[in-house]
Chains A and B, each alone.
Chain A
Amino acid sequence: KQEVTQIPAALSVPEGENLVLNCSFTDSAIYNLQWFRQDPGKGLTSLLLIQSSQREQTSGRLNASLDKSSGRSTLYIAASQPGDSATYLCAGYILTGGGNKLTFGTGTQLKVEL
């Protein structure tokens, strides 16, 4: 069974702290991995896509890594801000039907407090 697990399920940190969100997957068929942000009641905003040939990607204060051999990805957020408060989802790409589909974790709900 394809499964993506995210730990922790919820996290509360003070403003300015650096933090790491974890994502693990059991299916070796996952070839690319993408991190999303979701604000309450909203759609998904793409943060970073890591392709199978890459080990990490960076965008501003965000850095995501991918280790396919261990089935793990991490999202590092530097100098967290209250505006970073949201649910963060990781999702793995799997080939299917001549195309691909995403299989998602259940997310980490982040709250950054003043």
Chain B
Amino acid sequence: DTGVSQDPRHKITKRGQNVTFRCDPISEHNRLYWYRQTLGQGPEFLTYFQNEAQLEKSRLLSDRFSAERPKGSFSTLEIQRTEQGDSAMYLCASSAWAAGAYEQYFGPGTRLTVT
């Protein structure tokens, strides 16, 4: 297993368009997380899945954002009607219980630029 993967790595879109990102977690990791990181800041939590159930959503996740994990494996994050303020790095992480903790492992991220 090669770790968490994300696709695409970079996305440039025009304001008002919809975009969708994909995250493939480490095999058999039952927990999956999305974070957003803007320039010069630490990542901020967006949402979290346990298997296919979305158990928490941050207030940062406006109505234009939706995330799914339909079969408890990969996840998608969709942003509708993108705005320039959505420009950021979107990071995915996954975890499973091991050695007494749910340690999170991060993917390479998807950098979104909204023009």
- A43 and B103 in contact (CB under 8 A), knowing A101-B56, A106-B41? no
Query: Is A46's beta carbon under 8 Å from chain B?
Result: yes
The contact string, 1 if C-beta is below 8 Å from chain A, for chain B 24-48, is 0000000101010000111111001
Give the nearest-CB partner of A49 in chain B.
B103
Contact A42 B42 (CB under 8 A): no
Interface majority SS (helix, strand, loop, mixed), chain A = strand
Contact A89 B103 (CB under 8 A): no
Contact B104 A102 (CB under 8 A): yes
Q: Name the contact of B103 in the complex, choosing from A46, A103, A106 (C-beta under 8 A).
A: A46
Q: How many residues of A contact B (CB 8 A)?
A: 28
Stretch at the interface among A12-20, A58-66, A68-76, A90-98: A90-98
Query: Is B50's beta carbon under 8 Å from chain A?
Result: yes
Query: Is B107's beta carbon under 8 Å from chain A?
Result: yes
Contact A99 B102 (CB under 8 A): yes
Complex Cα gap A4–B41 (Å)? 12
Distance in Å: Cβ of B33 to nearest Cβ of chain A: 7
Instruction: Please indicate which of the listed interface residues B6, B103, B111 has the most CB atoms of chain A within 10 Å of its own CB.
Output: B103
When distances are taken between beta carbons in the complex, the residues of chain A under 8 Å from B40 are 106
Contact B109 A43 (CB under 8 A): yes
Query: Is A81's beta carbon under 8 Å from chain B?
Result: no
B contact residues vs A (CB 8 Å cutoff): 6, 31, 33, 35, 40-45, 48, 50, 55-56, 91, 93, 100-109, 111
Top 6 A-B pairs, shortest CB-CB distance: A104-B42, A97-B56, A97-B55, A44-B106, A43-B108, A101-B45
17 extra A-B contacts, CB within 8 A, seeds A43-B91, A102-B93 = A34-B103, A36-B106, A42-B109, A43-B109, A44-B91, A46-B106, A51-B100, A89-B43, A93-B101, A96-B48, A97-B56, A99-B50, A99-B55, A99-B56, A100-B102, A102-B33, A106-B41
A contact residues vs B (CB 8 Å cutoff): 4, 32, 34, 36, 41-46, 49, 51, 53, 89, 91, 93, 96-107
Jot down 14 A-B pairs with beta carbons below 8 A, ordered by A: A36-B106, A42-B108, A43-B91, A44-B91, A44-B106, A51-B101, A91-B42, A99-B48, A99-B50, A101-B33, A102-B43, A102-B45, A104-B42, A104-B44
